[in-house]
Structure 1
Amino acid sequence: MKKYMVLGAAFCVAFAFTGCKSQESAYKKVWEKAQAQEEQNRNQAPAQETAPVVTPLVEKSADQTTVTNVDNATVRTEDVTVVSGPGLKAYSVVVGSFSLKTNAEGMQNTLKQGGYDAQIAYNSSINMYRVVASTYADKASAVQSRDAIRGSQYNPKSDAWLLFKK
């Protein structure tokens, strides 16, 4: 009886392994078909490309001051607590967000060396430390500060944004 059970189990294992065929050849066929279609599309495309049209640069004198529309400035509302600093007013300019407090402290020190009264605020709902370069009671002052910080050496990616503290 044991011989028949072992023989039956061996037969089942052999059948299971022979029943599974590799799908690699199917993937290869699809890839080759896609390559052929791509090649055909390249051959049908026009051989001559036109040069892009470039609008000439017109220089204008800088005798006018650009005024940012304060009412349309995007503001994020978050519930944050101050970790390092004297405290936040209603509107703050955030120049960095970090998941590690040490990274936020490094940026805070850099900003302080640059003359900013930088602070660190913590958003517990998303576990992020926000580095605040400056904080203001009114939105207009915060927008002006954000625009001044954007593109500076302290915010080269121009990603400073406004935070409204709940």
Structure 2
Amino acid sequence: MKKTIYLCAALCAVLAMTSCKSSESAYKKAYEKAKQQELAEAELNKDTDVTIVETTEPEQVTEPVQQPVVTTPAPADRHEKVEVVGDGTLNKYSVVCGSFGLKTNAESLRDRMIDAGYKALVVFNPEIAMYRVITASFPTREEATASREELKSRYPDNKDFQGAWLLIKAE
């Protein structure tokens, strides 16, 4: 019984392999047909007279493109009730250079800002579960605004720091 099954399977495999083989005559017919088409196109091109017509393109006038003037308003000052994470004290006006949902990201930016010479610290807003990175904290708005502008001018290519804003500590 097993021998019969193996013999039938082998026979089916041989038939399957030989039936998929491409015949040489099929290739020859396709080649001949393509060759005839090429010859017909060549004869058609010989028989037709070709006249060359020169066309000139109209000169294009380019008008200078005026770029729209985009003014970005200064970020609004925000009043938030925050808690200092770790050591440090927070005055009424603080410069925020980053906001994060994860504490480790905020601490990483704080460390970078400390290395850059800032007295940075991290604060947490429990109402919205956000960690804010503070670069400096001052008792007056004028000092905080000057510090924010100094941060922006020190890092002109950093889009995140260009969006720095003032945090006003809510009592």
Classify the TM-score, shorter chain.
Answer: 0.5 to 0.7
Deviation above 6 Å: which 4+ runs of structure 1?
none
2:63 to 35, 48, 51: 51
Q: 1:155 to 1:76 in 2, by over 3 A?
A: farther
Distance of aligned partners of 1:140 and 1:73 in 2 relative to their CA distance in 1, 3 Å threshold = farther
Check whether the contact 2:137–2:144 (CA below 8 A) recurs between aligned residues.
yes
Partner of 1:160: 164
Structure-2-length-normalised TM-score: 0.54
Contact kept in structure 2, 1:85 and 1:118, CA below 8 Å = no
**CA spacing shift, 1:77–1:105, aligned 2, 3 Å:** same
Contact 1:94 1:161 in 2 (8 A): yes
Gaps of 5+ in 1: 1-47, 56-71
Partner of 1:58: none
One-letter amino acid of the structure 1 residue matched with residue 78 of structure 2: R
Structure showing greater Rg: 2
2:117 is paired with a residue of what secondary structure?
coil
Cα offsets for 1:90-118 (capped at 9, x unmatched): 00000000000000000000000011000
Equivalent of residue 91 in structure 1, options 68, 90, 93: 93
CA RMSD between the two structures: 2.5
Superposition TM-score, scaled by structure 1 size: 0.56
Aligned with 1:150: secondary structure?
helix
Cα separation, 2, equivalents of 1:155 and 1:84: 30
Report the counterpart of residue 142 of structure 1 in structure 2: 144
Distance 1:102 1:92 in 2: 21
Q: Percent identity?
A: 40
Structure 2 unaligned blocks of 5 or more? 1-59, 68-73
Matches of 1:151 and 1:159, distance apart in 2: 12
Summarize the Cα distance change of 1:102–1:91 in structure 2 as closer, same or farther, 3 Å threshold: same
From 119, 122, 134, the equivalent of 2:121 is 119
Amino acid at match of 1:163: L
